[in-house]
Chain A
Amino acid sequence: MMSDRAPVPPLALDRPNSYIGRSVPRPNARRLVQGRGHYTDDVAAPAGVLHAAFLRSPYAHARITHIDVAAAKAAPGVALVVTGAEIDQVCEPWVGVLSHFKGLRSATQHALAVDHVVWQGEPVVGVAALTRAMAEDALSLIEIAYAELPPVTDPDAALLPESPLIHPELGSNLAFALTVESGDAEAAFRDAHTVVSGDFRFGRHSPVTLEARSVLADFNPSERRLTVHQSTQTPYQMQDIYARHLGLPQANVHVIAKDVGGSFGMKLHVYGDEVATVAMSVILGRAVKFIADRLESFPSDIHARDHRVRARMAVAADGEITAMIVDDLTGVGAFSAYPRTSAVEGNQAIRLMGGPYKLRHYSGNLRVVFQNKAVMSQYRAVGHPIACGVTEALVDQAAAAIGLDPLEFRRRNLLTDDVYPYTSPTGYLFERLSHHQCVDKLERLMDYPALRADQAEARTKGVVRGIGFAVFIEITNPGPAFYGVGGARITAQDGCVLTLEPSGNIRCAVSVTEQGQGTEAIMAQIAASAVGVRIEDVRVITGDTAATPYGGATWASRGAGIGGETVLITGKALRANLLRLAGILLQMPPDNLDISDGLIVDNATGRERITLQELARIAYYRPDTLPQGVQAELTAAHHHVPRGQPFAFTNGIQASHVEVDVESGFVRLLNHWVVEDCGRVINPLLVDEQIRGGVVQGIGAALFEECLYSEQGQLLNGTLADYLVPMASEMPDIHVDHVSTPTLHSELGAKGVGEAGTAGAAAAVLNAINDALQPFGARLSQMPATPERILRALGKLAG
């Protein structure tokens, strides 16, 4: 303990040597551009490492009647062949339900299928061999006999009484249902001047991280210690999962996520093949590595979206939106994902509907059904693109029906600045949003009147252009309300340990993780600002359960807002410690001192008194020179969880400018604009790129991306050549600007930005296409808007 507890000066975030708000490049980018990244497949594997490969079900739905692995076991280089029943001996199966989604059901899921396969691509038998090629050779020697069962693929058909049951023990294919009612929507529709409606379809997506799922497990039987290198967003969650399901003390499980080649929510779910890899390592007492190849990623990574939404909007004569009635049916594949469930996307979609607007009457009905397809769960902007796509399409239809410009119609209906704090009809709490400032800024940024003039002029030349808007809100900074309250062992708090090292540098170990967002840069900026040192003198350590405190890590746009606040609080505590120590050494009250650029300075004059290096030298090597009873505290540790609201909301608006070739159905993206409000911007360079990357994933949804299944439940386009993702030549430049409304629930005021781009981009693009097609009397309400679908809408293709 420090003997002197004198107060220290308060910290101003915008002091001269602060890094908050500056476009600092990422310290870890240099090694990545030189090819010196350390993705899981790059980690030097322990001697004798084995490579895993999995035999996957070729059928969407079948009974396994017979498995013969004798020939595979005898194949060259093979160390282990395991079936689901054998993995179950060492690994507890799971059920993907949480108690706060009342009524959510799922079946027991085994790491490898036992007796019954429920989607094409489900892992059935695992092989560990000296090389991946040998393991694959052995797979081809396994004989499995299946008795095919009728597959359930169509979500509507899944609920018919005559539908086959995927999990007979559940009695139906319904996983979850939810009704959200507020006000009197039916009455509002009876009184409406105008009603617009639509049947919307959203394609099933595969996240397509460029680095596939990867895991390297090494079990040391002598100490029963398990080390797992994994491409994951959530090392602490995985540590808990491996410990519980493999019956190991949590302290014996060490999970390390070095560089992660993209994740977007896909790499925080539990996958049977990954758990089976870890279990094989436990069985063998040897290292086992599994790197999914692209062809197995498509049917085994979680999928997302796949919604059918029937929605109506009621509008009064003066153009006021009064009510919405929404019915959302979503198919989530064969199981509810573990441990976060597959109810989250539907729950968020049904509650985000109409969110930016003043309407008070709402009726939402959600049904989540099982299908014999890959499991669906959280992927970037969970539920947001559905809610935004439906709401913004109806808003455009309503504006047209009333005869108002779409931007003007939005202005009339967006929540006004005087309503906050505001509780939405679906129960969401908005601390403060900035819809009107965002709309104003966007209108100037894109020069809207000029674009409309250009559109009219182009039309005279037979060039068909359209402009589309999408207002969005985004859920960020999730607290325990997200998972913890439902019984999940998923923490909403983060932890940070900051240390002044003997060199005078600052070591920052923090539980949020990096997948390219720039987490390490942002944490270094905050730590440097809070302590008062140069950013070059901060080393950030993330992604290692043995090196950082336990925490939620990175998902749902929580890194900057929650992790950043944790580092700020810890940095202030370390700074206080160091000022107290300096005060003792210099015989001055600590509040007359400050730390700036790594120097202890006189608060009043700014004169240098002692360097942090010197302070560290004395504290570490000559503590004998300190007064009796003074112990230098060179480390500060803090945890932080957001309180005061269940989660935060950001907002913004996007606009898309497109040209449609009405002969071929091809869409050319001319431009895209985003104005958003993520609260305090810590690093503009990184924030803008988060938005741009998110926008392009949303554009993928609007134009290209869709997992196509046959009626038999076969994934038809499971290669990177067939599943289309956006390429550079098709993408527009993306112009980004900001409004900043910091949250007052934290000192930092950051709200997060990871989902914003994806939340609204698809809706903006589809609205732009429909704006272009409007003179032709054509309208699309299905994503992706492929050339074929556009030609169909134009009546140029039959059917």
Chain B
Amino acid sequence: MTTMATTISVNGTSVTRQVEPRTNLVDFLRGELGLTGTHVGCEHGVCGACTVLMDGATVRGCLILAVQASGRDVLTIEGLSEPGHRITKALQEAFVLRNALQCGFCTPGILVTATELLTQDPAPSRELIREAISGHYCRCTGYHAIVDAVQQAADVLAATQGPA
């Protein structure tokens, strides 16, 4: 199988690898770069476990090929866990305190989507949160605690922001 030289900015660092055109982004991140925080739950675009940010917007890592991410900016849960990502940090804290994860397999993907949500809407309603994370399957929690945690994170972020 032929390979193509592909350069992607991943978590702020530019990486170049020879990749087979059939390799999808999540396999590239996990297999080539060892970034195993992004998970594979279905490989057909339904479960959301493979969600990462590409140029600031959520994408499913199983639905795009690594070569399609060429020249783009990809942020994974590992990158979002580094200092400076205050929305993700607040979400992570709230998820732990509220026990909004059980097995944790769905969690990185949901945190990526919730980060995008709170970036766009700092005070979403419960319905909107449920709507926003409906592209993610969680088989363990029943979702209630996840909705609570996203709301808690939004509250904490609003409080630490100070009055406008």
Contact = CB atoms under 8 A, between A and B. Distances in A.
Nearest to A34: B81
Nearest to B91: A33
A209 interface: yes
B108 interface: yes
- Interface size grouping (class) on chain A: 35 or more
Given A210-B138, A693-B139, A728-B130, 9 more contacts: A25-B97, A29-B95, A29-B96, A35-B77, A42-B36, A259-B104, A294-B41, A693-B141, A757-B142
B107 to A, nearest CB: 6
B101 A264 contact: no
Nearest to B62: A294
A35 B3 CA distance: 29
Interface residues of B, number: 56
Contacts of B30: 41-42
A37 B37 contact: yes
B94 to A, nearest CB: 9
Contacts of A33: 81, 91-92, 95-96, 101, 104, 107-108, 111
A720 B46 contact: yes
A689 interface: yes
A133 B22 contact: yes
Nearest to B106: A210
A719 interface: yes
A26 interface: yes
Interface in B94-132: 95-99, 101-108, 111, 126-127, 129-131
Interface string B9-41: 000000000001010000000100001111111
B105 A262 contact: yes
A725 B106 CA distance: 14
15 contacts: A32-B104, A39-B39, A41-B40, A133-B22, A209-B139, A212-B41, A261-B39, A262-B139, A294-B43, A517-B102, A692-B142, A728-B130, A729-B131, A729-B134, A731-B143
Contacts of B35: 35
Interface of B: 20, 22, 30, 35-47, 49, 76-78, 81, 91-92, 95-99, 101-108, 111, 126-127, 129-131, 133-134, 136-147
A733 interface: yes
B137 to A, nearest CB: 6
Contacts of B91: 33
A695 interface: yes
Contacts of A327: none
Contact of B141 (A26, A39, A689): A689
Contact of B103 (A261, A726, A727, A734): A261
Contacts of B46: 719-721
A240 B95 CA distance: 37
Contacts of A37: 36-37, 104-105
Given A33-B95, A261-B103, A693 B140 contact: yes
Nearest to A23: B99
Given A29-B95, A33-B92, A211-B41, A728 B105 contact: no
B139 A731 contact: no
Contacts of B36: 35, 37, 39, 41-42
A502 to B, nearest CB: 29
Contacts of A262: 102-103, 105, 139-140
Contacts of B126: 733
Contacts of B38: 35
B44 A721 contact: yes
A30 interface: yes
A720 B40 CA distance: 13
A286 B130 CA distance: 46
